[in-house]
């Protein structure tokens, strides 16, 4: 079991795509991989103090809320969003989201790629 957890941790850390885990009820960041830090320009500790809505363009927030409401254990979603980097620059992202249990909480795992 420890080896399996180590393997998953390596996949999370080494994935070149942004991997983000947010709590479903409030969109608070619970985990981010180094690719997410690099893409959004935030240090890990700073992202973990924010919510996903903090980095989504105002124009896309209602769309995001509607789409995330469709995520269930049996249904993943794909969407395109304009996100905001720490420096204020907008980037276009393709996101795949699925529901997971993380640290005993209902969460959403997002895998995102920059398509700007």
pLDDT digits (tens, 9 = 90+) for 37-76: 999 999 999 999 999 999 999 999 999 999 988 888 888 9
Where along the chain do its domains lie? 2-114
CATH superfamily to which 2-114 belongs: PAS domain (3.30.450.20)
Beta carbons within 10 angstroms of residue 38's beta carbon: 12
Residue 98 pLDDT > 90: yes
Question: Rounded to two decimals, what is the model's pTM?
Answer: 0.90
* Model pLDDT, residue 48: 96
Pairing of strands 90-102, 105-114: antiparallel
Give the H/E segment covering residue 90: strand 90-102
* Model pLDDT, residue 80: 96
Q: State whether residue 36 is helix, strand or coil.
A: helix
């Amino acid at each position: 079991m420890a080896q399996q957890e180590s393997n998953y941790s390596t996949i999370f850390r080494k994935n070149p795509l942004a991997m983000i885990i947010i709590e479903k009820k409030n969109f608070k960041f619970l985990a981010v991989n180094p690719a997410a830090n690099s893409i959004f320009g935030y240090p890990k500790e700073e992202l973990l103090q924010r919510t996903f809505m903090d980095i989504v363009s105002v124009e896309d927030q209602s769309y995001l809320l509607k789409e995330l409401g469709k995520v269930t254990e049996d249904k993943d979603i794909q969407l395109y969003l304009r996100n905001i980097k720490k420096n204020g620059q907008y980037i276009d992202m393709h996101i795949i989201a699925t529901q997971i249990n993380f640290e005993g909480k209902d969460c959403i795992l997002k895998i995102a790629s920059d398509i700007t």
